[in-house]
Amino acid sequence: MLMRPRRLLVLWMLGGLVLSGCGDPSSESLSSSNRDLLPYNPRTYAVQRAATAPTIDGDLTDPSWAAAAWTAPFVDSRGRNRAAPPYRTRAKMMWDDSYLYVAAQLEEPHVRASFTTRDTSIWRENAFELFIDPDGDTHNYYEYQINARETQWDLLLTKPYRDADTPRLSAWDIRGLKKAVAVQGTLNDPSDTDEGWTVELALPWSVLAEMAPDGQSPEVGDQWRLNLTRMQWPVTVEDERYVQDTTDSGAFAWSPQAGTGNYHKPERWGIVEFSDAPTNAPSDSVRVPPNEHVKWALRRLYYRQNAYEDEHGSYASSLSTLNADAISLENRSFDPSLQTTQSSYEITAPGANGTTVHIRHDGKVWITKD
């Protein structure tokens, strides 16, 4: 069932008091005016149907997982051109009629976790995170965090932090979630060296479908936007105890965020396609739809509008002010139109197959049929 606006308001009142996420949500390592110059290359992954449901116990040697391909190893969240992370992280995904299954393998010589209270800032220590935007509009998306003690934080965000002050809905829960963590070593023991830890999740469609198109679970060929990330804080061992460096963290992602200071950039997340193709289908079997490139061209104008508003206190009223002519698409024209008011705007552009792609001042992007 789709979540009604009144329910969203109630959840916001219950859970929207403190910011969540990875790092300072307001921090950016690139200015708004330069962010749109970075290349658009989201990761892709074909999610295969599970022949049999895996047992959710943290053990990834379950025969069900053998048929699923590993993702590309995680990279520095700022981009693939950065130095490789010190420890490998990779994941697998499968699906059936009831669940989305996610498994992750995290190398770690010192597996540690202290948080034990649910729905707290798990990301402030080492954690695995999952982000899901079912309809790809960059609004109303899910975030899930878990540490090596199986402490979790599941939340719904109505908008990215850049587009709203307190969009976090911690009172929202993934009802029926199955989760398990297994440690390959010993938890919270500085005296030895561990191999790492594994995470296994089964997320029910009955919940994930709330924000999906038409409130439905995916069908074969459907694509969702999704990202898998990892927080890895530097640590030293002093007097037989762990001392975490709280001034900086390693932020690693399957689909990198390209220069941003947090993971809440849904337009940069990967594209997963639900498939019934043969197992271990290569990631390049997933085709990025033409309208995703139109969305990105409009997103570049959104970044420029934000930069203009930061400088002038109002949005630009003409596309020439935003140098829109400098933005082009391969194999098709880009012909945007802009409508503005004193406090808002909407930019549209023709899409593929008789569609129109829209973006507005709060960052939401969507497609209509002409």
| pLDDT for res 218 | 96
Rounded distance between C-alpha atoms, residue 212 and residue 3, angstroms: 10
Average pLDDT in the 262-291 region?
A: 85
Number of H helices, E strands in the chain: 5, 19
pLDDT digits (tens, 9 = 90+) for 134-182: 999 999 999 999 999 999 999 999 999 888 776 678 888 999 999 999 9
Q: What is the pLDDT of residues 273-285, one digit of tens each?
A: 999 876 666 666 8
Q: Give tens-digit pLDDT for 69-106.
A: 999 999 988 877 788 899 999 999 999 999 999 999 99
With H, G, I as helix, E, B as strand and everything else as coil, classify residue 27: coil
User: Binning pLDDT at 50, 70 and 90, where does residue 221 land?
Assistant: very high
CATH code assigned to 5-29+42-285: 2.60.40.1190
* Contact call for residues 71 and 100 (beta carbons, < 8 A): no
* pTM for this model (two decimals): 0.89
- pLDDT of the residue at 20: 40
Average pLDDT over residues 334-339: 98
Residue 340 has pLDDT above 70, yes or no: yes
Cα distance between residue 290 and residue 265, in whole Å: 20
Domain ranges of the chain: 5-29+42-285, 290-369
Residue 287 pLDDT greater than 80, yes or no = yes
Both tokens of 357, joined, read 């792609």
Q: How confident is the model at residue 369, as a pLDDT?
A: 93
Tokens 């005016």, located at residue: 33
**Confidence band of 262 (pLDDT split at 50, 70, 90):** confident
Nearest to 266 by CA among 211, 344, 209: 211
